Structure 1
Amino acid sequence: MVAEILFAEVQDKNELSEILLEYGMGIPGEIEEQLIVKENERVVAGAKIVEYEDKHFFLEVLGVKQDKLCQGIGRLLMKEIVQNPWKCCKNPLSEFVPKGSYIIMTVARGYAVNFYKAIGFKSCNFLRLPKLFREQCSDCPDKEDCAPVPMEFVGGMPKGIYISR
């Protein structure tokens, strides 16, 4: 099966909604801002990344269809995002600069932390998150079960170099 990564269209909304609902999430923003993975014309995963500040991105959602878990679909989508977040962000604020550094932040559910670490994310403090996203877990009734962990990916840097701002 060939997987295709592209921006969602209106007709993809129901399929993506079902996937994200399995994780207790909805579609943030417009459907056309969502990046999706399609296999055989079916949506099997989706994500949304936004650039909130010059070269600073936030992964708002990531979801993989439950029957497609552990098949490399999420890893495929995340590798695309971390390699070039500008290409995966519908409305970037800055322009891609080859070998330029950038940061991607997200909040992972506790059970997904190792998935993000395998891609190169590191856990960080909630205070490192952009203010707009810092409080997203504060009033969540599932916070205790979710065990959210803020995470950060620094891209465009040679392996082994990690710069914290």
Structure 2
Amino acid sequence: MHTRIEFATSQAEDELQELFTAYGMSMAGDVDEHIVVKQDNKIVAGAMVAQLDNSLYHILLFAVRMDARSQGVGSRLMQAMLRNPGRYCQPPGESSDASYQVTTVARGTAVPFYEQNGFIACDFSELAYPFDTQCTGCSDKNRCNPVAMMFARS
């Protein structure tokens, strides 16, 4: 099976949106700002990471197709993003520092996945604005059970 990680194109927009919709999410920004994992030309995972400053990144979206879960696809994508997060930003970013942080907000059920990939839970106050308050007042908060997460490379 041929697997590759690449930036999404306009031809992938509907398939990528369908993936995010299955998890109650929608694309953020332009389609070409998202990363996809393709297996034999089928999107099996998608994500979006943003560079907030020289050494701070935030994962806005991350999803793996239900039928592709527990096959290592999500960890492969996550580890690629954590090794070089700037490479997966649009436009590609560069860190002037060998140390950096990657943050995200995980739904409670996804916390073990993030922990397996090197993230630790942190306080929402440790996230950059507006992510530090993104769940405040959300009517879905009790069902979602969001957890602020941080990965640090030093």
**TM-score where L is the length of structure 2:** 0.95
**Counterpart amino acid of 1:139?**
G
8 Å CA contact 1:50–1:57 kept in 2: the answer is yes
Deviations 1:45-86 (A, max 9, x none): 100000011210000000111111111111111010001001
CA–CA distance in structure 2, aligned partners of residues 70 and 141 of structure 1 = 30
Q: After the TM superposition, which parts of structure 1 deviate over 3 Å for at least 4 consecutive aligned residues?
A: none
What percent identity do the matched residue pairs reach? 38
In the other structure, the counterpart of 2:121 is: 123
**Counterpart amino acid of 2:18?**
E
Listed as ranges, the matches of 1:2-151 within 5 Å are 2-93=2-93, 95-96=94-95, 100-151=98-149
Structure 1 gaps of 5+ residues are: 158-165
Deviation at 1:139, TM superposition (A): 2.9
Alpha-carbon RMSD across the aligned residues, in angstroms, is 1.3
Deviation at 1:132, TM superposition (A): 1.7
8 Å CA contact 1:51–1:91 kept in 2: the answer is no
Deviations 1:15-65 (A, max 9, x none): 110110011100000000001000111111100000011210000000111
8 Å CA contact 2:86–2:92 kept in 1: the answer is yes
Aligned to 1:131, what secondary structure does the other structure show? coil
Deviation at 1:92, TM superposition (A): 4.4
**TM-score where L is the length of structure 1:** 0.89
Structure 2 gaps of 5+ residues are: none
Aligned to 1:61, what secondary structure does the other structure show? strand
**Counterpart amino acid of 1:34?**
H
Aligned to 1:138, what secondary structure does the other structure show? coil
